[in-house]
Structures are given as structure tokens and as C-alpha cells.
Amino acid sequence: MRIMRQKDQRELNLGIGAESEALSTSAQATEVRAAKACLERPAVAGPSMEAVVERENLKKALAQVKRNKGAPGIDGMTVEDLGPYLKEHWLTIRAQLFEGTYKPQPVRRVEIPKASGGKRLLGIPTVLDRFIQQAVMQVLQADWDGTFSETNFGFRPGRSAHQAVERAQAYIASGHAIVVDLDLEKFFDRVNHDILMGLVTKRVADKCLLRLIRTFLNAGVMEGGLVSPTEEGMPQGGPLSPLLSNLMLDVLDKELEKRGHHFVRYADDCNIYVRSQRAGERVLAGIERFLERRLRLKINKAKSAVAKPSVRKFLGFSFTGGTEPRRLVAPQAIARFKAKVRELTQRTCGKSLGQIVRKLSVYLVGWRGYFGFCQTPSVLLKLDRWLRRRLRAIAWKQWKRGTTRYAELRRRGVGRDLAVKTAGSPHGPWRLANSPALTVALPNAFFASLGLASVAGQRHA
């Protein structure tokens, strides 16, 4: 049966070759070694390397890597290169996986701005390593996901940040009006490999699979042309890291359940809801001790707090008080929104208003898809008005001269006296953008005709 599985792998429609193709001497040798390795290994329950390299699992992993696209790793291989590479090298790679000799390459370190400011470090694995990680992740997730906490909403199929926010809202409505807002200090950078692998070992008996997971953790990081070893932490950027982070923090979830707490977690954002300030401070101190002792993780004391939910944010949202709390867009999220819009609508960018609107709308649609979940439509309507005023200011700036401004106003239906008065005004673009003349010349319908998206939804455009 094991030998037959080798034949199945040659038939994979992954660019790995067809059954009728003659194998090279080298490929035949690796095929025999892989088959022998399979036969010598005892059967184990649970996730296994055999499941990882099953045809359907590999096809699904390859399709997902292609959908995700993403930048090349340190070897420069692109997603488009992966299929042809697998066609030529898959049998050798497969043998290495079973022999325990597969060596992932170091991840490429990149920095991206964090929503809250500062930089987040990402590690970009090679495309081949992403493919193998994805195949491993799919098998592990299918086995593990059902064992995770009901209130863990991050990186799980069928769960979302919106569901996490709704659960938090329900806790507040039930009278748990104080939140213990936990911020783990550099969680992904400080995961202890021995503790993590101890948790994996409790769920995976297959030694080849365990060895592969460990090699991914220890693959190293390349930055500035130099490779540094990774003795702790998990690089954000690979398909396997989110699942492993869930496994690590499942220990915290189970402890919180054991203590009877009302909590919700999304990735490393964890909020615990209690009824009083004193209870919250006691919970925070107890969980801090637990995390340091059991997982060797630290709480960022500067960013963690015990407070009312209305003054904290969770996944970009905050809440009103009372027995019927409503979801609000957190002030920090609104500030980031305006900063991004200003970046996309610079008055001296040299682009036409239509070009600016098209690029801006891509961002607005994505933002609305997430923050449209709030329950304060008046805030979204206010942002829409702010957006249009900013675009009117850009148009006024682009018209430049008084004569041009007058001509544009008249052409767009503004009366002669109002056009003269506005074109000769000493006031700046921002103030005039709110004037009656520009409201007539550039009405809401004009921006809708350019394709401007509305953050309040189409019915308010």
C-alpha cells in the first residue's frame, strides 16, 4: 500500500509529472528511500506526514498559496515558479520529508507599519516553504480546531473578528462592565520553542512531522544579507504560525475557562470581562503570574489596563456604556482612517480628481467592509461629508487661478455674483470647500459619478 501511494504522488496534477513519464535514476532512488521510510515507520494516530502529502491535501495547499500570492522569499522564487519547480523536484522533496532531512530556508525579514504606530516584523518564507507549511497547517488544523476554546475567534475557519466583537458586546450587556485588556509583550517574537513543541507533542506522535515543525521554528531569519538563528519566537508571515499561536494561547484560554472568566480572544488580543474594578485588578495580577510561570510570556504593562470598555478598544471597536451597549469605531481607528485618506488625497500629487477617487475608493470599500459593522451610522455619515469636503478642496486647489475658478464655477451652475465672490475670496481651499458655491458646483452626485465609495453604505452616498 505504501508503494502504491508513491505512484499516486506521481499522478498529482501539481506539475509533479504524469504516470507515463519515466523517472530519472535519481528520482527512482529517492522514491525507493521514501517508500522504505514509510514502511519502517510505525502507524500512528492523529496527524501524520502521510496525511500531509496526500494528493488532495497538496492540491488544496497549492491552490491556497497561489490565491494568497505574496512576495518571494530569500531565494527569489515566485508563486508562478512553484508549479514547474514541484514538477521537477517533488519526489526528492517528498523523500526528504519522510527522512527528516528537509531543511526550510531562512525567512526574509521585512517591516510593515502597525495600525497603532511603530513597526511589525514579518518573516516571509520561500514559496516552497509556504506550500509545505500550508499542507502541514491544513492537516493539523483539521485535527486541532475542534478542541480550541469557544471564545477563541482568531485564525479559525468560520470565525471572524466581528464575531469576537459581538461576544464582547454580549458580556458587557450582561453586566460585566469592566474589561481586563491584556496586551502580550511581543508575543510572536517571544514564543518559547520548547514549551510550544511540548504542546505539539501532546497532539502529534509522528516523529517526522514533529521534526519538520521544529525545523520551521529554527529556520533562521535573513536581514541585511545576514542569517540569524531563531531560538525563540515565530515569524509572522508563514501559514503555520497562526495555528501554532492558537495552540500556545489555548493554554491561557483553558486556564481562563477553569477560573470561570468571561473572555474573548482574537490572536494575541485577549479581553476578560468582570463586574468591578477590584475584580479586574485581581484577575490581571493572577493572569500575569500564570503567563510568566506557565508560558514564559509577559504582559505589556504600559498597554494593558483594567477599565471601562468605552475607554478601551478591541479589534478597532469600542463600546458605549449602559445595559444596551453599542459598537463604536474606536477613536484611534478614525484617526488612522483620516491619516490614510490624507495620504491618498494629497493636493499636490499631480493626479486628476478622477484618478484620486478611484484609488481612494479601493481603500474606502475595504474600510467600510470592516468598520461598517459599527452601530453609529451618524459617525460614518460625518466621515463621508469630511471626505467630500476634502475632495472639493483638492478641486479648488487644482483650478489654481481666479479666472479658472470663476469659469469652472459658472460652468457648473453657480450664479454669477456667487462665482465672482468665491473666486476672489482670500480664504484657503479647506474653508471654501464648505462654501455654498462649491457645494453647488461639486454636489454629492458628482462624486458618485466618479465612483466615490461611501463609508456609510450606498444608501447614504
Question: Would you give per-residue pLDDT tens digits along the chain (461 residues)?
Answer: 444 444 444 445 565 443 334 445 555 555 555 545 544 454 456 899 999 999 999 999 999 999 999 888 888 999 999 999 999 999 999 999 999 999 999 988 877 766 655 666 778 899 999 999 999 999 999 999 999 999 999 999 999 999 999 999 999 999 999 999 999 998 988 899 999 999 999 999 999 999 999 999 998 887 777 777 777 888 788 899 999 999 999 999 999 999 999 999 999 999 999 999 999 999 999 999 999 999 999 999 999 999 999 999 999 999 998 889 999 999 999 999 999 999 999 876 678 899 999 999 999 999 999 999 999 999 999 999 999 999 999 999 999 899 999 999 999 999 999 999 999 999 999 999 999 999 999 999 999 999 999 999 754 33
Side-by-side strand order, sheet with 226-228: 119-124, 107-113, 221-223, 226-228
Q: Kindly give, in sequence order, each residue whose CB lies less than 8 Å from that of residue 42, ignoring residues fewer than 6 positions away.
A: none
CB 308 within 8 A of CB 177: yes
pLDDT at 321: 83
Quote the pTM value.
0.84
- Say if strands 221-223 and 327-329 run parallel, antiparallel, or are unpaired: unpaired
Cα separation, 301 vs 383, whole angstroms: 33
User: Per DSSP, what are the bridge partners of residue 226?
Assistant: 223
Phi/psi at 208 (5° precision): -65, -40
pLDDT at 119: 67
pLDDT at 224: 74
Cα separation, 377 vs 63, whole angstroms: 39
pLDDT at 286: 96
Other CB atoms closer than 10 Å to residue 284's CB: what's the count? 20
Task: Reduce the DSSP state of residue 11 to 3 states and report it.
Answer: coil
Please give the full DSSP string across 339-380, using - where no structure is assigned: HHHHHHT-TTS---HHHHHHHHHHHHHHHHHHHTTSS-HHHH
Tell me how far CA of residue 119 lies from CA of 15, 240, 369, in angstroms. Answer: 38, 22, 25
Which amino acid, residue 241? S
Residue 241: exposed, middle, or buried by beta-carbon count in 10 A (0-12, 13-18, 19+)?
A: buried
CB 306 within 8 A of CB 280: yes
Cα separation, 81 vs 204, whole angstroms: 32
Residue in 270, 229, 192 with CA at minimum distance from that of residue 107: 229
Residue 211: exposed, middle, or buried by beta-carbon count in 10 A (0-12, 13-18, 19+)?
A: middle
Residue in 68, 74, 70 with CA at minimum distance from that of residue 109: 74
pLDDT at 115: 61
Cα separation, 171 vs 256, whole angstroms: 15
pLDDT at 265: 97
pLDDT at 186: 87
Tell me the CB-side half-sphere exposure of residue 307, using CA atoms within 13 A. Answer: 13
Other CB atoms closer than 10 Å to residue 158's CB: what's the count? 7
CB 422 within 8 A of CB 376: no
Quote the longest CA-to-CA distance of the chain: 93
pLDDT at 234: 83
Q: Kindly give, in sequence order, each residue whose CB lies less than 8 Å from that of residue 209, ignoring residues fewer than 6 positions away.
A: 47, 48, 49, 52, 136
- Distance, C-alpha 313 to centroid of its chain: 18
